[in-house]
Amino acid sequence: MLNQATLGAKSASETIFDVRQMPSPLSGGWETINNIKYQAIRHELDAGCGAVTFRDGSILNERNGDRYEKFIAFGRRLGEVQIRGGGSSPIWHVEPKKSDGSPKSYSESNDVAPFHTDASYYPNPMKYLVFLAVRPAEIGGENQVFSIPDRLPEFSNGAAGCAAIEVLKRETFPFGMPPTFHNKDEQKDLPLECGPVLLDGGIVRFQIKALREGFRRRPDLASPEKIEAVEALNDFIQQHLNGRGVRLGRGQILIVNNWRALHSRKAFNDPNRLLLRLSIADTFPTNTAHR
């Protein structure tokens, strides 16, 4: 069985931010990003580490309405902008909500958000997540990005890791929406999606809360082999939370390929922290080995 001794603890001095800093031409403003630059962004997202960042503080000088329009227009250059969460706008405010006694999602909380991919309990998780830092936290709230293509080989170095990867690719796992997203009366109707955790080409679907909830709701899919593989991968991934992250600066944009990289956030106390988020849709691939 894999454990911390097998995996090796990560030093808190290591920065876990597997992101390509795009070159300076992108700093001229979103209007200067031509098709060639978009191709460079998409190449890094789809064939590189799975995440990019650049800065454009000029958008923060816009009024909210104009700022939102420009942000959405930027997202549309990457693909289909989705409206999620039952609202009317595709822009989601990532900010702490006041406590009312009910559980909160990661985007509504100021606690640690462990490494995860978004919307794992839906058939088609969004492909890209686009974040714009409007008001970074004064202390804490650092973002971390974990590239599956870059870091999974470390997990597979030992025989136990290789065996776990085979299970995660071969077997069917249940991903259940945690009750956090709905009140208790609606739990029976919460989404549940089944499929592998790892797919061909460095694709991943992973949120430990969703997997544990899925095992609870589908005990027929909760074999000891699968539970051990999931927990081993989670141990490997979450140990990297000990590393440093990066606090996004005002006007900094972070784009994460939600199929190739996991993201996390450090805890913070600043009630004014605000990031804007867009979700960009695509058709989630099928693992050829799983058909």
Residue 60 lies in a domain: yes
pLDDT number for residue 71 = 92
- CB 110: neighbour CB atoms within 10 A? 20
With a CB cutoff of 8 Å and minimum separation 6, the contacts of 45 are 51, 52, 128, 255, 257, 260
Q: State pLDDT tens for residues 220-230.
A: 999 999 999 99
Exposure string for 152-162, b = 16+ CB within 10 A, e = fewer: beebeeeebbe
Residue 3 lies in a domain: no
Residue 288 lies in a domain: no
Give me 34's structure tokens: 């031509």
pLDDT number for residue 158 = 83
Residue 227 lies in a domain: yes
pLDDT number for residue 256 = 98
Spans in the chain with pLDDT lower than 50: 1-9, 24-27, 288-291
Rg of the chain (C-alpha set): 19
Residue 4 lies in a domain: no
pLDDT number for residue 31 = 60
Residue pair 232/145 in contact by the 8 Å Cβ criterion: no
Cα–Cα distances (Å) from 29 to 34, 95, 274, in that order, read: 11, 25, 21
Residue 67 lies in a domain: yes
- CB 284: neighbour CB atoms within 10 A? 19
Q: In whole angstroms, what is the distance from residue 112 CA to residue 141 CA?
A: 8
pTM over 0.95: no
| Residue (of 106, 47, 42) closest to 280 by Cα position | 42
How many residues does the structure list for the chain? 291
pLDDT number for residue 87 = 78
Residue 270 lies in a domain: yes
pLDDT number for residue 32 = 62
Give how many domains the chain has, as a whole number: 1
Q: In whole angstroms, what is the distance from residue 269 CA to residue 253 CA?
A: 22
Residue 290 lies in a domain: no
Q: What is the CATH number of the domain that holds 92?
A: 3.60.130.10
Alpha helices by DSSP H, listed for 79-207, are 148-155, 159-170
Residue 82: strand, helix, or coil: strand
pLDDT number for residue 5 = 35
pLDDT number for residue 35 = 76
Structural domain span for residue 65: 16-23+31-282
pLDDT number for residue 36 = 73
